[in-house]
Amino acid sequence: MSNVTASTTGMRTAPIRSGFWLVVLGAALWGVDPLFRIILLKSLTSSQIVLLEHVVLFLAAAPVLWRHRAELKKIRLRQAGALMVVSWGGSAVATILFTKALSSGDLNAVLLLQKLQPIFAIGLAAMILKERLPRNFGPLIVLALAGTYLLTFGWTVPFGHVNSFISVGSLMAMGAAALWGGSTVMGRYLLGSMSYETVTSLRFILALPLLFTITSLEGAPWQVNGGWGSTSAIAINLLLQALLPGLLSMLLYYKGLNTTKASFATLAELSFPMTGILINWIVYHQLVTLPQLVGFALIWTALFFISNQQSKQAQAVLK
């Protein structure tokens, strides 16, 4: 009898484990995103880049959504609200904030600040999805915030230097982390009644009206200097960015999220800043500073304790 129980438990945990690693892989592909985005920032504004990226994604997602159109009839008010958070917040506004942060600050600081995303996601998962908060969550948040301070300011005192704080891009990076954390929770909620293909498609398609509005209000000219060669390079970079860290990563991510708790998934997403920092080191020769390492260690410590407690909860449920 015990062998049957162990076998059943193993079968139940296998999809959970594979789902977790699909989230890890999808998030790791996000780390490649700055490689394309920084090149595009030389010719386009942040809003223009995100808009064009979503136009490409719309062309790829529309046929998928058409095949799953029957699911659209089942959407209710709460699901529509969750879709707005995922598409407008996570796909449109957060991506614009992240792109602006890349153009105005330390690349490593921007990427490392994404490690705050689990704090936002775990808190929201507790409120909305009723996932239990880890013990000592308050002190762990304080520890994570101390790490964030070091990532942003280093050893210096920031008072009276708000402009320099904003110029580093830290506020925008943290805003993106908060919106992506909320998007993780809302995405997990939606996957309770929709397929991951439908959620992925709607994430990109519903963001387009907002992006058109933001780009129009921005009033920046669509100018590409350098002739046909430059235009071709921009088109190739845009296509690769949309399809690799955009579409492919989100399909893997939502497929994995389908069998992964939001609080676990947001920890798996830490593969994103790790990949990004590695690329910054290899491609842009940006080394992590000592205060950033200390800040990173503090945030990682907080997340380690949260992850450890969540794993124990999952094992207790399976038993």
Domain ranges (residues) in the chain: 16-220+233-318
Cα distance between residue 11 and residue 26, in whole Å: 23
Spatial CA neighbour of 148 closest among 167, 174, 169, 123: 174
pLDDT at 7: 41
pLDDT at 317: 53
Spatial CA neighbour of 32 closest among 279, 303, 307: 279
pLDDT at 80: 94
pLDDT band at 87 (very low <50, low <70, confident <90, very high): very high
pLDDT at 106: 65
Who wins on pLDDT, 93 or 19?
93
The predicted-structure confidence for 246-265, as pLDDT tens digits, reads as follows 888 888 888 888 877 776 77
Cα distance between residue 82 and residue 188, in whole Å: 10
Rg (CA), the chain: 20
Who wins on pLDDT, 132 or 227?
132
> Residue 168, Cβ neighbours under 10 Å: how many?
19
Instruction: For residue 79, give Cα distances in angstroms to 48, 49, 57, 189.
Output: 28, 28, 22, 8
Query: Using N-to-C axis directions, what is the helix angle for 94-104 and 46-67, rounded to 10°?
Result: 150
Query: Which residue's entry shows tokens 């009644």?
Result: 193
pLDDT at 226: 56
Spatial CA neighbour of 52 closest among 230, 238, 220: 238
pLDDT at 196: 87
Cα distance between residue 265 and residue 27, in whole Å: 10
The predicted-structure confidence for 131-152, as pLDDT tens digits, reads as follows 776 677 678 777 877 876 776 6
pLDDT at 201: 92
Min mean pLDDT across 86-100, 120-134, 235-249 is at: 120-134
Burial (Cβ within 10 Å: 0-12, 13-18, ≥19) of residue 223: exposed
pLDDT at 13: 47
Overall average pLDDT of the 223-227 stretch: 61
The predicted-structure confidence for 3-39, as pLDDT tens digits, reads as follows 434 443 444 445 556 777 888 888 888 878 878 888 8
What percentage of the chain reaches a pLDDT higher than 70? 77
Residue 86, pLDDT > 90, answer yes
Q: Could you tell me which residues come within 8 angstroms of residue 128 by beta carbon, excluding any fewer than 6 positions away?
A: 185, 186, 189
Cα distance between residue 6 and residue 28, in whole Å: 32
Overall average pLDDT of the 303-312 stretch: 64
The predicted-structure confidence for 155-213, as pLDDT tens digits, reads as follows 776 554 455 445 557 788 888 989 988 998 999 899 888 998 899 899 999 999 999 99
* pTM for this model (two decimals): 0.71
Who wins on pLDDT, 273 or 293?
293
Min mean pLDDT across 87-91, 107-111, 305-309 is at: 305-309
Overall average pLDDT of the 289-312 stretch: 73
| DSSP-assigned letters across all residues of 177-245 | HHHHHHHHHHHHHHTTTS-HHHHHHHHHHTTHHHHHHHHHHH------TTHHHHHHHHHHHHHHHIIII
